[in-house]
């Protein structure tokens, strides 16, 4: 009862009411929508505690292993420091929290992602072999896109126009087709969840 | 050369170099920087979520504005922590049930209107005020592309007979779309790389005069 039936009933009741409220032009319906949005953000945000428990438990276990201990200690200390400066000093302009974001988190994140350019370059060298018509098409399109966003590519006649056409016509058609497929899939999955056909989210 | 005297710039530069050291091989400097990133990003996420999610949407309405109904999402939120006690771990399904129910319910009409009806509308009626021959051909190509791409993802019928050439055309449009996405992704990564070198050579070492 508590383990499966109540969660399934909750999904059904909240799902049906939330779907129907869209079609009911009444202040109560709007009030329900506003309240549910707040509740969803609130409940969804509380999941951060689950993430924190998982994070701290993972690194606490690793603290006992000699080879991982210094790194996990650094991860926990960095987390505690960032949390403390955030709650004590605030998040405003000029705060230590903001400086930590701009001079620690942002550079680390940007450098991590920029590293991928090396690996993508080497991977694409191996993958971009025009073995078939489709692979050739992908290769040519990627080349035009990459070339046209460089300074030099902008001055080659026809290249900016070609990029414009690729983005506005074939790329738009494929993205639109995918978007239609995704929305059909999401509607079908939502219905299956509400009606209790899809129950994988309940776990074992 | 005008090396920066700002300690924050030095911290950012040392961390940047530590991450770049991975290009040689996995090493303690990279691992240390990686774990600093994990810790700092988790802390940032926690403080941000508390200030923009939990407090204004849950704690303030309940404990400051005394809106008693907000006790329901508050209790649902606390149920996440039931995983700590294995005997009561199943209570974690309740907040998930709430989020899935409301999320699915709200998303059905929105997905139907915004993603389905609007996309189909602009595919069939690209410009109601008339158009040139070139624009007409482009609109026709978009229509053919959308229909063939959607049919390519239709797996209830085998891609044989009439479906075979149709889905082949769909693949052509998909490959162009993937090529464009791939090209943009690579260039976005390269622009980040250029940004990091600008920071190291300009903001830190002061070699680039326009970034001192």
**Tens of pLDDT along B114-128?**
889 999 988 887 666
B116–A2 CB contact, under 8 Å = no
Measured between CA atoms, the residue of chain B closest to residue A77 is: B39
Name the minimum distance, in Å, from the CA of A158 to any CA of chain B. Answer: 16
A71–B95 CB contact, under 8 Å = no
Q: What is the largest CA-CA distance in chain A?
A: 70
Tell me: pLDDT of A32 over 80: yes
Pair A193, B99: CB distance under 8 Å: no
Q: Which residue has the higher pLDDT, B9 or A126?
A: B9
* Residue from the list B50, B104, B119 with its beta carbon closest to the beta carbon of A180: B119
Tell me: pLDDT of A39 over 70: yes
Residue B157: band (very low, low, confident or very high) from pLDDT cuts 50, 70, 90:
confident
- CA–CA–CA angle A164, B165, A138 (5° rounding): 35
- Using DSSP, state whether B4 is helix, strand or coil: coil
Measured between CA atoms, the residue of chain A closest to residue B95 is: A43
Q: Which residues of B touch A71 (CB under 8 A)?
A: 31-32, 34-35
Measured between CA atoms, the residue of chain A closest to residue B190 is: A117
Q: Which residues of A touch B196 (CB under 8 A)?
A: 107, 110-111, 114
Residue B54: band (very low, low, confident or very high) from pLDDT cuts 50, 70, 90:
very high
How many CB atoms are closer than 10 A to CB B4?
16
The lowest-confidence range among A36-50, A183-197, B98-112, B123-137 is B123-137
Kindly state the percentage of chain B with pLDDT values over 70.
97
* Residue from the list A42, A50, A181 with its beta carbon closest to the beta carbon of B54: A42
Q: DSSP labels for B74-110?
A: HHHHHGGGGGGSGGGGGGGHHHHHHHHHHHHHHHHHH
Q: What is the pLDDT of residue A2?
A: 72
ipTM over 0.90: no
Q: Which residues of A touch B38 (CB under 8 A)?
A: 75, 78-79
**Cα–chain-centroid distance for residue B49?**
17
Tell me: pLDDT of A26 over 70: yes
A176–B145 CB contact, under 8 Å = yes
Measured between CA atoms, the residue of chain B closest to residue A70 is: B32
pTM, two decimals, is 0.87
Name the minimum distance, in Å, from the CA of B145 to any CA of chain A. Answer: 5
pLDDT digits (tens, 9 = 90+) for A49-65: 999 999 999 999 999 99
A141–B180 CB contact, under 8 Å = yes
* H or E segment and range at residue A200: none
Name the residue among B193, B179, B200, B143 with its Cα closest to residue B17.
B200
The lowest-confidence range among A86-95, A102-111, A124-133, B87-96 is A124-133
- Per-residue pLDDT, averaged over B60-82, amounts to 95
Q: Which residues of A touch B170 (CB under 8 A)?
A: 177
- Per-residue pLDDT, averaged over A171-195, amounts to 95
- Per-residue pLDDT, averaged over A164-171, amounts to 94
Pair B35, A77: CB distance under 8 Å: no
pLDDT digits (tens, 9 = 90+) for B170-198: 999 999 999 999 999 989 999 999 999 99
Q: Which residues of B touch A183 (CB under 8 A)?
A: 111-112, 115-116, 119
Interface test with B, best of A25, A107, A185, A201 (most B CBs within 10 A): A107
Measured between CA atoms, the residue of chain B closest to residue A96 is: B8
- Per-residue pLDDT, averaged over A62-85, amounts to 95
Q: What is the mean pLDDT of chain B?
A: 92
What Cα–Cα distance (Å) separates residue B95 from each residue in A7, A35, A43, B65, B100? 9, 16, 7, 23, 8
Interface test with B, best of A38, A77, A108, A193 (most B CBs within 10 A): A108
B40–A78 CB contact, under 8 Å = yes
Measured between CA atoms, the residue of chain B closest to residue A100 is: B40
Q: Which residue has the higher pLDDT, A32 or A119?
A: A32
A42–B49 CB contact, under 8 Å = no
Name the minimum distance, in Å, from the CA of B187 to any CA of chain A. Answer: 6
Q: Which residue has the higher pLDDT, A204 or B35?
A: B35
Domain boundaries, chain A: 1-89, 128-204
């Amino acid at each position: 009862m508590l383990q499966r039936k109540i969660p399934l009933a909750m999904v059904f009741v909240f799902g049906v009411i939330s779907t129907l409220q869209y079609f009911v032009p009444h202040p109560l319906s709007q009030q329900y929508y506003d309240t549910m949005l707040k509740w969803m953000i609130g409940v969804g945000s509380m999941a951060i505690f689950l993430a924190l428990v998982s994070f701290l438990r993972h690194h606490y276990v690793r603290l006992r292993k000699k080879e991982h201990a210094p790194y996990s200690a650094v991860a926990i200390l960095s987390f505690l420091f960032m949390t403390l400066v955030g709650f004590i000093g605030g998040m405003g302009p000029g705060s230590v929290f903001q400086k930590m974001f701009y001079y620690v988190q942002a550079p680390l994140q940007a450098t991590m992602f920029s590293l991928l350019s090396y690996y993508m370059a080497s991977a694409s060298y191996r993958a971009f072999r025009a073995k078939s018509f489709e692979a050739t098409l992908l290769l040519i399109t990627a080349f035009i896109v990459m070339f046209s966003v460089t300074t030099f590519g902008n001055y080659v006649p026809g290249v900016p126009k070609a990029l414009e056409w690729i983005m506005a016509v074939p790329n738009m058609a494929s993205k639109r087709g995918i978007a239609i497929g995704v929305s059909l899939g999401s509607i079908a999955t939502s219905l299956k969840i509400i009606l209790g056909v899809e129950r994988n989210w309940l776990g074992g | 050369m005008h090396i920066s005297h700002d300690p924050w710039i030095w911290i950012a530069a040392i961390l940047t170099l530590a991450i770049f050291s991975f290009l040689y091989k996995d090493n303690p400097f990279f691992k240390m920087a990686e774990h600093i990133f994990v810790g700092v990003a988790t802390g940032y996420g926690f403080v941000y979520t508390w200030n923009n999610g939990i407090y204004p949407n849950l704690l303030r309405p309940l404990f400051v504005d005394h809106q008693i109904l907000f006790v329901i999402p508050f209790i649902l939120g606390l149920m996440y922590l039931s995983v700590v006690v294995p005997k009561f771990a199943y209570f974690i399904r309740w907040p998930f049930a709430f989020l899935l129910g409301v999320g699915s319910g709200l998303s059905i009409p929105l997905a139907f209107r915004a993603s389905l009806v609007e996309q189909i509308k602009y595919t069939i009626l690209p410009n109601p005020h008339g158009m040139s021959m070139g624009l007409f051909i482009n609109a026709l190509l978009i229509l053919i592309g959308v229909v063939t791409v959607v049919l390519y993802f239709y797996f209830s019928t085998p891609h044989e007979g009439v479906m075979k050439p149709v889905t082949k055309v769909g693949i052509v449009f998909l490959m162009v779309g993937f090529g464009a996405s791939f090209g943009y992704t690579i260039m976005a990564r390269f622009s980040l790389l250029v940004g990091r070198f600008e920071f190291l050579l300009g903001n830190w070492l002061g070699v680039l005069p326009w970034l001192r």
